[in-house]
Amino acid sequence: MKTVAVLVGSLRRDSINRKFAEALEKLAEGKLKFDYVDLDMPLYNEDLWENPPAAVTEMKRIVDAADGVLVLTPEYNRFMSPAVKNAIDWGSRPYGKGSWSGKPAAGIGATPGALGALAGIMSLITLMGAVGMTVMTQPGVYMSLRDSSFDAEGGIADEGARKFLQGFVDAFADWVDTKA
């Protein structure tokens, strides 16, 4: 079974994207192992490489060991979350020792709004490609989700959405398997 480093771009305790990631993890059971990365780290600063923050070295350890990367982001001002951007910046350094290059990856997300983080995901996919990830862009996943979108067990409540997301998870597992 392949391991996927999972970056959830919302640091909020009751994050919709965290719940979304956990629901996807249920759908990926037996296909992918999710290893969550803590994105609560200082803003990128080249000077900090003299003594890198523990959260940064742990993130790089998880990503380096993973077969693939799944990034979930809310949309902030038509852009990906600052926590995701910061983590990708940290992971791209130090020069020549970046963690992203060649990693099979997907960028998805959710918001309660009608467009479901679409603009944020588009900026995310651009950045993922720029740092060398091999990005799966189809099927595109940008969901309008609320707390009521999840059932009592933390799965996706709507059967149609659950089937669509199972298709995404299956495609992503194949992507990681063939590109890793």
**pLDDT tens, 71-120?**
999 998 889 999 999 999 999 999 999 999 999 999 999 988 878 789 99
Q: Where are the alpha helices (H) located in the chain, listed in sequence order?
A: 16-27, 54-65, 82-91, 118-130, 159-179
Mean pLDDT calculated for residue range 49-55: 96
Record the pTM: 0.96
> For the domain bounded by 2-179, which CATH number is listed?
3.40.50.360
Mean pLDDT across the chain? 95
Sketch the domain layout of the chain as residue ranges.
2-179
Percent of the chain with pLDDT over 90: 89
pLDDT tens per residue, range 160-176: 999 999 999 999 999 99
pLDDT bucket at 14, cuts 50 / 70 / 90 = confident
Distance CA(54)–CA(44), nearest Å, equals 13
Torsion of CA 114, 88, 155, 140, to 10 degrees: 50
